[in-house]
Structure 1
Amino acid sequence: MNYVVVDLEMNPVDRMFREVRRRMNEEVIEFGAVRLDASFRQEATFQCYVEPEYGPIRKHITSLTGITQAMVAGRDHYADCFRRFVDWVGGAETRIYSWSMSDIKQLKKECRYKMPSFDVGWLEERWVDLQQEFDDRLGLHNSLALKHALGAMDHQFEGTQHTALDDAINTSAILVLMQDDAKFRATMQPVLDILQPQEDLSSSIGDLCPDLLKWKQEE
């Protein structure tokens, strides 16, 4: 069994393409993925920029991701990049993880519109929502954002946030930690302490992970 953690960056479909927007509101502009072997050791990475077909890169997307129109101009379109991703995943038995289901929903929409002959069942039978597995393991009723989960682990983010490959690699650290239940519980116990009803939420963990404390207070 192999394990792939994937992350996507996306750009809105321009409003002038009204018919397209009825099928999908965004296009993938970057694939990033890391493959782990049966022992959850990193063995390969995949990264691909994608030239959008329905509008240029928006300024706010460049601000968020660092991806400019010049970086994607002349790159392969979605269909070619997605086929490369499928080839990279390969024929071995594989589970594909992402943080939430938003990425698989995007891939399915884009495949159905741009690659109608592709069987999206290939995605559905392999895909796992790592965010949901993480929340279920902790017994959480509300989902934690990736940055909160990493902060709770006291994991130092490697690379640049909102860069698809870096996000995938950092997300894989959560998957690896979850393979050792005792270590996972010990690491996450301070978070469980915060998320349990308390008289004083401004505990020391609030200093360690202020974003998580703010999330709890805003519930």
Structure 2
Amino acid sequence: MKYVVVDLEMNPVSREFRDVRRKMNEEVIEFGAVRLDENFEQEAEFQCYVAPAYGPIKKHITNLTGITQAMVEGKEAYEVCFQNFVDWIGETETKIYSWSMSDIKQLKKECRFKMPDFDVKWLDERWVDLQQEFDNRLGLHNSLALKHALGAMDHQFEGTQHTALADAINTSAILVLMQDDEKFRATMQPVLDILQPKEDLASSIGDLCPDLMKLKDNL
């Protein structure tokens, strides 16, 4: 069994393409993924930029991701990049993880529109929502954002946030931690303490991850 952690960056479809927007609102502009072996050791990386078909890179997307129009000029179309991603995964039995289900929803929409012959069941049969597994393990009713989860486990983010490969690498750190239940519980105990406070609580998760405190009142 292999394990792939994937992250995507997207760009909105321009408003002039009204017919396209009825099918999908965004296009993938970057794939980033890491593959872990049967021992959850990283063995390979995958990254590619994708040339959008329906409008240039929007300014707010550049501000968020650092991806400019120049960076996607001349790159392969989605159909080629997605097939390269599938080929990179290979035929070995593989689980594909992402933080939430937004990425698989995007891939399925884009495949149905741009690659109608591709059987999206290939994705459904392999995909796992790591965010949901993480929340379930902690008994949370509200989902934690990736940065909150990493902050709670005191993991220093590697690379730049909102770049697909860096997000995939950092998400994989959560997957690896979750393989050791005892270590996972010990690492995440401050989260459990703040969400289920005790009278003698001496330390605060606020020192570890201030943004997480904002979630407490919503739980």
Same fold flag (TM > 0.5) = yes
CA offset at residue 128 of structure 1? 0.2
CA offset at residue 214 of structure 1? 1.7
Give yes or no for contact 1:201–1:213 (8 Å, CA) kept in 2: no
1:128-147 to 2 correspondence within 5 Å? Answer: 128-147=128-147
Q: 1:77 to 1:185 in 2, by over 3 A?
A: same
Which residue does the alignment assign to 1:34? 34
State the TM-score, normalizing by the size of structure 2. 0.97
Q: Secondary structure at the match of 2:191?
A: helix
Give yes or no for contact 2:194–2:204 (8 Å, CA) kept in 1: no
Q: Could you tell me which amino acid in structure 2 is paired with residue 61 of structure 1?
A: I
Which residue does the alignment assign to 2:81? 81
Q: 1:201 to 1:59 in 2, by over 3 A?
A: farther
Q: 1:67 to 1:200 in 2, by over 3 A?
A: farther
Q: Could you tell me which amino acid in structure 1 is paired with residue 140 of structure 2?
A: L
Which residue does the alignment assign to 1:170? 170
Give the ranges of 4+ consecutive aligned residues of structure 1 lying more than 3 Å apart after TM superposition: 197-203
Q: Could you tell me which amino acid in structure 2 is paired with residue 115 of structure 1?
A: M
Q: Which stretch shows the higher mean deviation, 206-215 or 79-88?
A: 206-215
Q: Secondary structure at the match of 1:165?
A: helix
Which residue does the alignment assign to 1:207? 207
Q: State the alpha-carbon separation in 2 of the partners of residues 217 and 208 from structure 1.
A: 18
Q: Which runs of 5+ in 2 are unaligned?
A: none
State the TM-score, normalizing by the size of structure 1. 0.97
CA offset at residue 204 of structure 1? 2.4
Q: Which runs of 5+ in 1 are unaligned?
A: none
Count matched residues.
Answer: 219
Q: Secondary structure at the match of 1:109?
A: helix
Q: State the alpha-carbon separation in 2 of the partners of residues 192 and 67 from structure 1.
A: 37
Q: State the alpha-carbon separation in 2 of the partners of residues 50 and 101 from structure 1.
A: 21
Q: Could you tell me which amino acid in structure 1 is paired with residue 123 of structure 2?
A: L
CA offset at residue 215 of structure 1? 2.2
What fraction of aligned residue pairs are identical, expressed as a percent? 82
Which residue does the alignment assign to 2:52? 52
Q: Secondary structure at the match of 1:160?
A: coil
